[in-house]
Structure 1
């Protein structure tokens, strides 16, 4: 049934329902408990819908500011089997994280399951592991790069920043909805999964003191790239699990690369090699 036939919840005060959605912005525990997160922005919302993610609620302004919905927003509100809520503009502004203007539309989207089965496997496997990242923006940036260079998925290990934090979702510019992202508690789960695969992947880590340059190492086979915490690098457990530690040659006064940047370099080199330019 079109969304227009469904009842619209109208919210003009910071009631319990509003507070529940507001908590999704800042409280990881409540996101996990509710099994949902808040998505802001035209592109991320559009990609979530296109890729078949479950949209539980669509939130829009109640029009008291004189603004109507665009054709894009109207089609989503009327076409998706999701709850519909009209909020006062100032409440939309709070949920949108913008001071100057209330967003036209926000989506409350169901969290996917953290299952390795979501990651497609095979001879072309390319997975990036981010070990204990602390910054949501870096998580989103890494997911964006992994998507851009055709990775099979991203795995977040350990006590880490949440890929469903609004800052991470924004930094991914929608790539979060096009690439499997799986969270696990430790490296052990990743190793067990990798060893059970028919096409066993090599596991390479990145480190400024690695024993081989990334450009000289063969990345054409199934590969897991492990990138460490922004401050401390890879854990000792991950270092022991890696088949090889690779370094990215850098010059200038920089002592190291940002974790997401380092992952991007290795991803690019992997694509270059797999395109048949190894040694070019």
Structure 2
């Protein structure tokens, strides 16, 4: 599949006006809310793209891609992210547990989004000191107990319906919206 004329035009404009683009980003990025996202073992590149798009929408300042999670540039990510993969800073990390501990040492509150016995309602989780990292994992296997134990909180989205399961990108979007409202 060939890139569209519009996406090629945008890419060429960004390349020519790199200084202007960095200036604009220098203004926009500080406006982002103090939220970060760790996406661990996300198999679907479309879900990765959707996570970028939701992160851009709700003001996430950085995404960490860990485990087998795919990274840009990939056409499957770009198709869903609609340019968000270029706006939201991201980093690929090897060791998720080490990343969790590193972020905690920097004062970040880490919340795993998972359905297990220790999870409390997302509505009960409050941001500590305004800095929060949301950790999401593989839809089938979820997050390991080791990761959940390392986190400051484990939250689940209240679901009154029969099917108690959401797509990882949908669930992350709900949680990011919730944490974003706490910054008002």
Question: Is this a same-fold pair by TM over 0.5?
Answer: yes
1:272 is matched with which residue?
181
1:40: how far off? Answer: 3.0
On the 8 A contact 2:100/2:151 being kept in 1, the answer is no
1:159: how far off? Answer: 2.0
2:24 is matched with which residue?
none
1:128 is matched with which residue?
37
1:182: how far off? Answer: 1.1
Equivalent residue of 2:56, what SS? helix
1:223 aligned onto 2:138:
no
1:261: how far off? Answer: 0.8
Please state which structure has a larger fraction of its residues in helix.
Answer: 2
Q: In 2 relative to 1, CA 249–183 (structure 1 residues): closer, same or farther, beyond 3 Å?
A: same
On the 8 A contact 2:104/2:110 being kept in 1, the answer is no
1:139 aligned onto 2:139:
no
On the 8 A contact 2:61/2:88 being kept in 1, the answer is yes
2:99 is matched with which residue?
190
Aligned counterpart for 1:205 among listed residues 97, 101, 112: 112
Equivalent residue of 1:274, what SS? coil
Counterparts of 1:242 and 1:137, CA distance in 2: 26
1:174 aligned onto 2:83:
yes
On the 8 A contact 1:44/1:173 being kept in 2, the answer is no
Counterparts of 1:154 and 1:46, CA distance in 2: 26
Aligned counterpart for 2:73 among listed residues 145, 156, 164: 164
1:151 is matched with which residue?
60
Equivalent residue of 2:54, what SS? helix
On the 8 A contact 2:97/2:147 being kept in 1, the answer is no
Q: Which has the larger radius of gyration?
A: 1
Counterparts of 2:36 and 2:171, CA distance in 1: 14
TM-score between both structures, scaled by the size of structure 2:
0.80
Structure with more contact order per residue of length (Cα contacts < 8 Å, sep ≥ 6): 2
**What is the number of equivalent residue pairs in this alignment?**
170
Counterparts of 1:243 and 1:158, CA distance in 2: 21
TM-score between both structures, scaled by the size of structure 1:
0.54
Structure 1: gaps (5+ residues): 1-24, 26-38, 55-78, 82-119, 276-280
2:21 is matched with which residue?
none
